[in-house]
């Protein structure tokens, strides 16, 4: 088997570094003990028709392995997880619980967080005009975070009583809040995120992404 290839950006501005979604794929591969190669792209390749055949929206990440080419970070993490018990239990009922929480991370928790992220990235005049909307979205996120914390209770992980691909995705989603104070208002979730970020596989994946950006930083 050849090493899988992960398509990632050569460089992004600081606000996105450590959040770009190839991190999810790098982390999953590290947890699986699977080496990989980087395929780095920039704006020109994003637009190319060849790349659009692999990722129709010109985004990252893409994973190419011996079997296929896949886009959507959730689908890629699921594909990797289905090949290793490191991320997905072999018991079918437990695996269903893990997949349920993978969807919850991407489909229930991530949307309002991304909405806030988009508002916060607007130019000052637009952000100012949207300040009431921002407060409402922050409130929606708070409700979701409290529900998640209530479910977790004394559990360390979301499903199967151990770290799985559900925790991997949920942690990368919670990280998007890093420029807000929202997570700090739910200390048990903050601790959950930090616990998962302390995993050697995450640290390795993050270091690899950051190293790439450092090596390709534009000259001042």
Ligand X SMILES: N[C@@H](CCC(=O)N[C@@H](CS)C(=O)NCC(=O)O)C(=O)O
What is the contact surface with ligand X in residues (CB under 6 A)? 20-21, 58-60, 72-74
Instruction: Kindly tell me which of 4 and 74 has the beta carbon lying closer to ligand X.
Output: 74
* Shortest Å distance, C-beta 74 to ligand X: 6
What are the Cα distances from residue 105, in Å, to 164, 175, 195? 12, 12, 17
Adjacent-strand bridge partners of 9: 41
Would you call 71 helix, strand, or coil by DSSP?
strand
Toward ligand X, which CB reaches closer, 8 or 138? 8
Closest distance between ligand X and the C-beta of residue 193, in Å? 18
Bridge partners of residue 8, in order along the sequence:
40
Distance in Å, CB of 134 to ligand X, minimum: 20
The answer to whether 189 and 152 have CB atoms below 8 angstroms apart is yes
Whichever of 59 and 185 has its CB closer to ligand X, that residue is 59
Please tell me the distance from the alpha carbon of residue 84 to that of residue 196, in angstroms, as a whole number.
18
Q: Between 41 and 148, name the residue whose CB sits nearer to ligand X.
A: 41
Query: What DSSP designation does 15 have?
Result: T
User: Closest approach of Cβ 155 to ligand X, in Å?
Assistant: 26
Instruction: State in angstroms the smallest separation of the CB of 150 from ligand X.
Output: 26
Distance, CA of 161 to CA of 187 (rounded, Å): 20
Nearer to ligand X, 45 or 185 (CB): 45
Task: Report whether 160 contacts 101 (CB < 8 A).
Answer: no
40-to-44, 144, 206 alpha-carbon distances in Å: 12, 35, 16
Determine the residue with CB nearest ligand X: 59
Q: What Cα–Cα distance (Å) separates residue 187 from each residue in 149, 150, 184?
A: 9, 12, 6
């Amino acid at each position: 088997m050849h090493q899988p290839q992960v398509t990632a950006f050569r460089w992004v501005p600081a606000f996105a570094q450590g959040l770009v979604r190839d991190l999810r794929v790098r982390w999953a591969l590290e947890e699986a003990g699977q080496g990989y190669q980087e395929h780095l792209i920039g704006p020109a390749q994003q637009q190319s028709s060849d790349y659009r055949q692999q990722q129709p929206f010109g985004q990252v990440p893409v994973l190419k392995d011996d079997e296929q080419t896949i886009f959507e970070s959730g689908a890629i993490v699921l594909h990797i997880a289905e090949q290793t018990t490191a991320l997905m239990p072999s018991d079918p009922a437990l695996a269903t619980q893990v997949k349920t929480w993978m969807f919850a991370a991407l489909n229930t928790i991530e949307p309002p967080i991304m909405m806030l992220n988009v508002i916060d990235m607007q130019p000052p005049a637009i952000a100012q005009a949207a300040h009431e909307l921002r407060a409402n979205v922050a409130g929606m996120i708070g409700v979701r975070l409290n529900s998640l914390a209530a479910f977790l209770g004394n559990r360390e992980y979301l499903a199967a009583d151990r770290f799985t691909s559900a925790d991997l995705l949920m942690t990368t989603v919670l990280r998007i809040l890093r420029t807000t104070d929202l997570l700090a208002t739910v200390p048990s979730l903050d601790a959950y995120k930090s616990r998962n970020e302390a995993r050697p596989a995450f640290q390795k994946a993050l270091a690899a992404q950051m190293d790439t950006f450092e090596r390709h930083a534009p000259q001042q």
